[in-house]
Amino acid sequence: MVQVQYVVDFVVRSTADSTSADAHAAVLRHVQEWLEFAHDGVPDLEALPADGERLLTRRDLGDGMASLSGDGPRRLSWHHVGPPTAAARRIDLRVPVRGVPATHVTGVTLAFDRGTDVATVRVVTGREAHGGWIAPTPQSFLRRPAVVRRIVEDPDLVVTAYGRRVDGRRDDITTPAAGAVLVDALRRVDRLPVLLVAPTHRSQLDVVDAAAAELPGLANVIRLSTRGAVDAVSRGIDLEVPLGGARLVWPHLEALIHPRYDDGSLDPQSDLVADVLSTIAPLSVVSRGIDVPFRTAERAGRALAALARQQEVEAAVARGDEHAEVAALRRQLDEARAEIDQWVEEAHRLEDDVSSLTMAFGQVGRRPAPVPVDWHDAPALTPDDAEPLLEFLEQRSRGHLRFTATAARTWRKSGYLHPAQMRSALLTLGQASVEFAEQQGTITARLTDWFRDGFGLDVATTDLALTQSGRASFEFEGARLNGVPHVKLGDAKRWSECGRIYFAYQSDPARFVVHHVGLHDL
């Protein structure tokens, strides 16, 4: 069985000035070229029979994507369903994964109505594990299939998702007025997630453009290109978009945690694109559900076939031909059994989806209603005085983020070169502390994943040198706490750029207690 990991759905039309008025043919051509780029022996997809498969030979493409795949055979399979007037075809490519007993699967479903210039396209990726092998998928294997980029970047096609055109490029917001319009759009729930980015250097635009190219159909990428636009949007949605960083905004502003990626996340060597993709892709699998266009065409084809079999039975009865009548009834029975088998398989997959959703809704249902917290008027963090900011954070977090007496002193002595980045991290830790309390001091995920996926913080839970030094714990309000967890702000070669926030966490009362703000020299 395929473990689906990524799903995008598009509606495709030809542009008004396109030389071809057949969106279906254009998409099929892109699929053909995508397959032929990396493989020899690809058949003419337009002339394929209804069902079949073929082994392909991999071309030597050198380093890059091809190096992630193994040397075994690649299998191309295809299925064509539905009546001629409303048909669908599904094309699956199975490629062995290098070094592990698994197969990477990319599937493209193309559905169309004859006589219209509209096609629906679904692209799916997943993995088949063999022999009961169990292991997570490496993040490097979760990526946007190249066929998606071919389709959305075609200038002769209009590709939409959730009613909005997608072309693999970012949008730019340059003024506060435009930011206000964006805020209204972000308050809609019938939209894709939006990745808001606020680059501060031209070199960061490469990461922004890479995100836009990687996320079509999953999220829209919007660049806030001026400080005025950043401020207008941050105030309008009550979520800070950090300068030099990004914010992933889900379609429900008040009910969800919106992951934050701080200053430095847009730098050329960052993992922003992979992190965002690994956050959204699993959600796309559940939200997109079954392959509706393929199933619809399949049912229409079965209804047409059933009508033909019934007519065969009636004709045999009218002729008094019992042998022909029995043969026609047997064909009806075989087709009904095949349909039942397919629906049983689909029901098992949907049961898995229901279980996952039930667990997620159960966790949400246990949370108390969140109380909005305004973080926008936080004091600055100066190199020699952290007290105003730390007091602000304790008050606004309602005591869920606390600081020991040594925290302000370690900051004053640290000489850390990026106070603005440290301030941003402390604010985010304050927001995380409020969420931690709303979850009643319980985190079901790994702590590092919870901070990364929910808040964009890089948190480590081990520090060998600190543990061996005997200073891994500290006293606070009569309790002995484990102070090893820490927020990492860079691992630069210059010691003065290796920022750290060491803290402990308690479940009762639910809070984070910070005992060191400064450098990695505790």
pLDDT 10s digits, 189-214: 889 999 999 999 988 999 999 999 99
Q: Is residue 379 part of a domain?
A: no
Whether residue 390 is predicted with pLDDT greater than 90 in this model: the reply is yes
In this predicted structure, the answer to whether residue 19 has a pLDDT above a threshold of 70 is no
What pLDDT score does 233 carry? 94
pTM of the model: 0.63
Residues 413 and 506 both lie in one domain: yes
Examine the domain organization and report whether 96 and 129 are in the same domain: yes
Q: Among the three residues 288, 310, 334, which one is the final residue of a domain in this structure? A: 288
| Per-residue confidence (pLDDT) for residue 358, from 0 to 100 | 46
Residue 365: pLDDT band (50, 70, 90) is very low
pLDDT number for residue 47: 84
Specify the range with the lowest mean pLDDT, choosing from 31-40, 74-83, 299-308: 299-308
Amino acid at the residue 92 = D
Q: How far apart are CA 467 and CA 285, in angstroms?
A: 41
Q: 197-211, 295-309, 318-332: which range is least confident on average?
A: 295-309
> Which pLDDT score is estimated for 362?
44
As a whole number, the mean pLDDT across the chain is: 83
Pairwise pLDDT comparison (418 vs 289), residue with the higher score: 418
Contact 216, 192 (CB under 8 A): no
- CA 346 to CA 343: how far, in whole Å? 5
Place of tokens 């979850």: 439
When pLDDT is averaged across residues 15-30 and rounded to a whole number, the result is: 82
Q: Which residues pair with 107 in a beta bridge?
A: 92, 124
199 by DSSP, 3-state: which?
Answer: coil
pLDDT at 514 over 60: yes
Q: Classify residue 412 as left (phi > 0), alpha (psi -120 to 50) or beta.
A: alpha
CB 297 within 8 A of CB 119: no
Convert the pLDDT of each residue in 91-129 to its tens digit: 999 988 877 777 889 999 998 876 677 899 999 998 887
Q: 32 and 80 share a domain?
A: yes
Q: What span, in angstroms and rounded, lies between the C-alpha atoms of 297 and 24?
A: 15
Residue in 499, 498, 504 with CA at minimum distance from that of residue 404: 504
In a domain? residue 462: yes
pLDDT score recorded for residue 360: 40
Overall number of domains in the chain: 4
Residues 154 and 59 grouped into a single domain: yes
Residues 325 and 434 in one domain: no
DSSP one-letter code for 400: S
Q: Indicate if 127 and 66 belong to the same structural domain.
A: yes
Asked whether residue 338 carries a pLDDT value surpassing 70, the answer given is yes
Choosing from 249, 268, 288, the residue where a domain stops is 288
Name the residue type at position 361. F
Residues 205 and 316 both lie in one domain: no
- In this structure, is residue 174 part of a structural domain? yes
In a domain, residue 371? The reply is no
CATH of the domain at 120: 3.30.530
Query: CA distances (Å), 173 to each of 31, 177, 178, in order?
Result: 34, 9, 6
263, 425, 445, 453 from 450: Cα distances, Å:
19, 15, 6, 5
Give yes or no for residue 309 having a pLDDT over 80.
Answer: no
pLDDT digits (tens, 9 = 90+) for 59-88: 876 544 445 566 678 999 998 888 777 788
* pLDDT (0 to 100) of residue 123: 95
Nearest Cα neighbor of 191 from 219, 224, 225, 151 is: 219
CATH classification at residue 246: 3.40.30.10
270, 358: one domain: no
The answer to the question of residue 381 being in a domain is no
One domain, residues 329 and 394? no
Q: Are residues 318 and 270 in the same domain?
A: no
Same domain, 11 and 157: yes
Q: Which two tokens stand for residue 379?
A: 């004091």
Say what the pLDDT of residue 349 is.
56
Is the pLDDT assigned to residue 344 strictly greater than 90?
no
370, part of any domain = no
E-state strands within 342-484: 401-403, 459-460, 473-476, 479-482
The domain containing residue 352 runs over which residues?
292-365
The confidence score (pLDDT) of residue 270 equals: 82
Q: Is 147 a domain residue?
A: yes
Q: Is residue 305 part of a domain?
A: yes
- Torsions phi, psi for 79 (to 5 deg): -140, 135
Percentage of the chain modeled with pLDDT above 70:
86
Does one domain contain both 264 and 296? no
Q: Last residue of a domain, which of 128, 143, 161?
A: 161
**Phi, psi angles (nearest 5°) of residue 416:** -60, 135
Q: Which two tokens stand for residue 75?
A: 């299998």
Given a contact cutoff of 8 angstroms between Cβ atoms, the answer to whether 197 and 211 are in contact is yes
